[in-house]
Structure 1
Amino acid sequence: MENQNTKDKMFQKFTWTLTNFSMLGSKELFSETFSLDGHTWRIFMFPKGDDGDFLSIYLDAGVDTMPHRWEKIANFKLIVINQLNDERNIIKESSHTFNSEDDDWDFTSDISLDELCDSNRGFILNDTCIIEVHIVIDMLEHEKQVDVSERNIDNIKLVESIENRSSVEMISTQSFGEVVDFRSIGKVEKDFIPLLEDVCSRYPSLLNSKKRRSQKFIEWALTALGRVLYFLNTKKVRDMDDDACNHLQILWEELETVGFDLSWLKPHVQSALGMKSRIERVLEVKRLEEKVISLEEKTKALRTEMIEAELNLEITRRELVKAKEDFENCDLDAKLSYGKPSIIYVNE
């Protein structure tokens, strides 16, 4: 376990070594707890799988001893160590808001349990599996408390009431409104209900795939889906700046860990994430169009000025020719003199 705390951030690295892995049962298994920012955390997993034949790992915030309405934002990595080649480690990086109602986060890896237990792959050697978690918490921004009785206040007022918080964090942790029941399977934000009804009617597998999960997990999964749908349904093209793209990326990565079949949604998210570059190209085209118009106007003005200058030149030339007619040359350097008239010698 490693601590690397600074003035602004707290960092914790915890390593969980599971020996005699093949002898472990099918029940969930918890690591030792470790402390970060005043309370305990732990990792847990199902050695024989939880939902399917793929490895699932959970990060638990250990909120049993924390006060009601407690919340904490954590940026973290869960890593399954490859003991033969660390470049093949399985890494999942995410940002998640842990609170008194949602105290754990999980991801299903791309490796099956059979592949995991294959010693040739390097994840389990000498019947030992190693899992690491790296957590970073911002000392100035990581906590807030929201009274449940105030969930119905206006979104904007809630954002304005939270100071010293980045725009992405404000959006991802705010409440959208009152929580209501969805199809008698869990409670989610009211604003998400029409969106969830629409997609669940078109893609029934979204709910069928989660029937064996706990109500708490289902509520978290539906909320993660609802947040992405709400984002796509309310944002406009012009809104997709760096902050909005980063926020959508965080929401999407969290939703991917749920295990839904998201093939129908992924193209829309990718299109939204690529919108910033398209917006930049549109703005660049408009900038160049405006510059072309400006230069054309300037060129037109210069042409007009050139025509006028050529005309003035021609008029001046004609005036010069006329002025030279009957012109009597004289020496401009000669003295004016006085008295006797000056004698001018002319060579014949």
Structure 2
Amino acid sequence: MGNKKSKEVFEKFTWTITNFSLLDSKIYWKKFSLDCHTWKILIFPKGDEGNYLSIYLEYPGAALMPQGWQKFANFKFILVNQLDHTKNIINETGHTFNLGQDGFTSHISLGDRYGFIVNGVCIIEVHMQVDESGRKIDDDKVVESIENVSPEEMISTSSFGEVVDFRDIGKVEKDFVPLLEQACSRYPSLIDIKKRKSRRFSEWGFTALGRVLHFLNTKKVRDMDDDTCNHLQALWEELEAFGFDLAWLKPHVEYALGMKNRVEKVLEVKKLEESVNVLKKNVNTLKENVTTLEERTKASRTKMIDAEIKLEKTKRDLEKAKKGFEECDLDAEMGYGKS
């Protein structure tokens, strides 16, 4: 039987990053699809030394693949010189993604930023080519990959506390049970997973569901910053892999993920309101000062008018006094008794 030729699949992903110079040392990421798989490109704007842009290509689904699964990819990272494309920085390589190697990192020097960051904008391209073989893995194969992992080990990554039995499905964390009971009562189709999948798979699936429900039940609006949204996105993507009908939950997750922008708007409005209140106080203080100055000016004007009247009166008195006036030396001696 001859070897079946595999088809190669190519994808080009462009990420335009605005306000790049203002980014801090946190991780920023975007997703794209290739060969029916979702990939992530992550950047560390400050790199390891602060003078490097670190780019990380990751396949998050590798953790759910069966033992022995692997996928080889040729790819290149391109830091685009927006003023001269002949000066683009290109890092090209190949990498095998598997259970132990789900990502690859590349470092690009940012010593000379001319042309690479223009008006605060940085452009990164990822060109990626993979073998089409080993496409989407069936859930039953995913079961094989976790069959040798104990329930305690699987749920240790979120370890909220005590583990208990849930509806004869398997062990889940105690804190999740009330939320899972409520969800299963409203959406009985969730329980069907235990009819279709192994106990281990069901435990893992309901743990993933419990994590998302617990997140939505405990987080506050003010908590939804970049890191928290990224965490929820990761939990949601993990949950989707288990094949639940999540149409009822998706709007809640999308609402929570969109909360970051709402929080930013609220904070912006509050900041502007505070600025308005401060400016109002300043205006009122200035008005009071102006009123005080006006009153002082009015009083000074009155005094000035009185002084002018007195001046005119005194001038007239002076003119009268000068009539018939004969100049004399007030210090001269009278001369009495002198011959």
Scaled by the length of structure 2, the TM-score of the pair is 0.51
| Cα pair distance change 1:306/1:241, threshold 3 Å | same
Instruction: Report the CA distance between 1:302 and its aligned residue.
Output: 1.1
For 1:219, the equivalent position in structure 2 comes to: 203
2:252 maps to amino acid: H
For 1:92, the equivalent position in structure 2 comes to: 38
| Contiguous gaps of at least 5 residues in structure 2 | 13-33, 41-57, 67-95, 106-149, 319-327, 331-339
For 1:283, the equivalent position in structure 2 comes to: 267
Q: After TM superposition, where is structure 1 displaced by more than 6 Å over at least 4 residues in a row?
A: 94-98
Q: 2:166, 2:198 → 1: CA distance?
A: 15
How far does the alpha carbon of each residue in 1:115-167 deviate from its partner, in whole angstroms, 9 at most, with x for none? xxxxxxxxxxxxxxxx95562399xxxxxxxxx9x99xxxxxxxxxxxxxxxx
Instruction: Report the CA distance between 1:325 and its aligned residue.
Output: 2.7
1:83 lines up with 2:4 in the alignment:
no
1:136 lines up with 2:61 in the alignment:
no
Q: 2:247, 2:7 → 1: CA distance?
A: 29
Q: 1:302, 1:82 → 2: CA distance?
A: 76
**Matched residue SS, 1:181:** strand
For 2:78, the equivalent position in structure 1 comes to: none
Q: 1:261, 1:291 → 2: CA distance?
A: 47
The root-mean-square deviation of aligned C-alpha atoms, in Å, is 3.9
- Contact 1:186–1:219 (8 Å) recurs in 2: yes
Counterpart selection for 1:201 from 175, 181, 185:
185
| Contiguous gaps of at least 5 residues in structure 1 | 1-17, 22-80, 108-130, 139-147, 152-170, 331-338, 342-348
- Contact 1:179–1:188 (8 Å) recurs in 2: yes
**Matched residue SS, 1:173:** coil
Aligned residues: 202
For 2:64, the equivalent position in structure 1 comes to: 105
1:208 maps to amino acid: D
- Contact 2:163–2:173 (8 Å) recurs in 1: yes
Instruction: Report the CA distance between 1:255 and its aligned residue.
Output: 0.6
Q: 2:188, 2:309 → 1: CA distance?
A: 103
Counterpart selection for 1:240 from 198, 210, 224:
224
**Matched residue SS, 2:172:** strand
- Contact 1:96–1:105 (8 Å) recurs in 2: no
**Matched residue SS, 1:264:** coil
For 1:315, the equivalent position in structure 2 comes to: 299
Counterpart selection for 1:260 from 230, 241, 244:
244
1:324 lines up with 2:308 in the alignment:
yes
For 2:169, the equivalent position in structure 1 comes to: 185
Scaled by the length of structure 1, the TM-score of the pair is 0.50
